[in-house]
Structure 1
């Protein structure tokens, strides 16, 4: 059994009528969204519209749930620490394996009204036990969490993909993460496509559909941000910056800056 009090490892929050987002800390989140449509975002990108659904979310994702139209969002978020998920009662669950080992995906289960009511009852019991001082509440809460996941796994038809539209949003999310990590070495769309195992045409189609720009412009956008930051706040020479940012020569870097910043690197630094 976990050594810290269970309230440090398990939290239940109601979904807010307007917007709800991930709380601070390294928690895996299970969102139970009730009967009103809500828009689900990851890293600022809309992944899908959810209704009568459970979402299983890795701790590395920054997510938001936003109301859609006039109707408020409703439901619960069940937050669990990794220590809880490693408890012997839970560690063998297939649903645990799905969530932890696939941090590049959001997993989804659609709910029927009957199943939704039963799952809500389980979460409400967990929430109630967290606020009491009853003997053996830790064991009771773990048992309810186990029941919740077994029920989801057996009754909710958990999917590993969210469909074509959401597949594209997931691809764009992974593309943005790769750019953030490799922008100083990779400037070409094809280089990212090789790492993402997709064709340039499909990546462009996905980025255009999700963000309204093409893949090359997304790379340029991030590269220009790095250039501005380095020229304004770094003590390095223009030559050092050009090589640090992956340009083949200072001359090419200067030409790039004149095209995209409207002036040479030295002029931009002085402005």
Structure 2
């Protein structure tokens, strides 16, 4: 099996995608890590990893090199100073054609909690796609030079024993993400809208990410949020142009596609894992949403 190791917390490890089991999700050995792409390439002897997911956030900045980065179902070619953002459990695969140069940063939700960084900050950055994929951003030359210096300071701090080391690391990380956000072409949240509505949308999406395998109905989430299903639909539709039902279905379909494409579980097993007890209903649901049956999508 081809491999591209990750190294959270200084521990080199590789967990493979076992094709007879559900999609491999790699746990973090630590809450934070930063290293050079060259080091990862050398440790893997140039081999390429299988598609996989993580339970932590990953930032990959390609400064130089050729190759591609597969994110869910789209392959993006490497480009100079392209920065990729991979959310927890999002499937990706780094495929360098030669020894690349760049940075890889990983950090867990726990790191954010320990350093008083609200995950809403990450959500509002519009960099990480929790329900869909995000294309890479391109750093202009002057900002790339500033950011490279910043990440060198971040790595020095990470490897140091300085007092308030974690606080300094989190500050450097936030600044780098803010720099990247400035280059993001995705529209920011409409801050003129009611802030309570934005809070409700974030809470709803967080619940869907955590419980989509169990709760499939809008009413289930409205009950958790102590509001009516009608009100939840109105808020979600106003802010993002989708109904709450469509958000739930989008999450289910995305994860169904990941398992169909990247595992060898049976269609029945995939449906059951997503909360569908009737395989015929799961197949009908998938075809209604995608226009293809699960077997047609799997090919």
Normalising by structure 2, we get a TM-score of: 0.50
Mean Cα deviation higher: 120-129 or 182-191:
182-191
Please say if 1:192 is aligned against 2:286. yes
Work out whether residues 36 and 102 of structure 2, in 8 Å CA contact, stay in contact via their aligned partners in 1: yes
Q: Match for residue 163 of structure 2?
A: 135
Q: Match for residue 244 of structure 1?
A: none
Aligned residues: 186
Change (3 A) 1:49 1:24: closer
Looking at structure 1, the residues matched to 150 and 52 of structure 2 have their Cα atoms a distance apart, in angstroms, of 21
Please say if 1:59 is aligned against 2:88. yes
Change (3 A) 1:82 1:66: same
Q: In the TM superposition, what whole-angstrom CA distance separates every residue of 1:114-158 from its partner, at most 9, and x where no partner exists?
A: 22222222222111111111112111111101111111112x225
Change (3 A) 1:188 1:28: closer
Shift of 1:93: 2.4
Alignment partner of 2:83: what SS?
Answer: strand
Shift of 1:24: 8.7
Shift of 1:193: 3.6
Please say if 1:182 is aligned against 2:210. no
Q: Which structure has the larger Rg over C-alpha atoms?
A: 1
Work out whether residues 90 and 146 of structure 1, in 8 Å CA contact, stay in contact via their aligned partners in 2: no
Could you say what the CA RMSD is over the residues aligned between the two structures, in angstroms?
Answer: 3.8
> Greater helix share, 1 or 2?
1
Q: Which runs of 5+ in 2 are unaligned?
A: 1-28, 188-252, 261-266, 273-277
Alignment partner of 2:157: what SS?
Answer: helix
Alignment partner of 1:77: what SS?
Answer: strand
Q: Which runs of 5+ in 1 are unaligned?
A: 1-6, 161-171, 204-213, 222-271
Normalising by structure 1, we get a TM-score of: 0.55
Alignment partner of 2:166: what SS?
Answer: helix
Q: Match for residue 150 of structure 1?
A: 178
Alignment partner of 2:70: what SS?
Answer: strand
Q: Match for residue 33 of structure 2?
A: 11
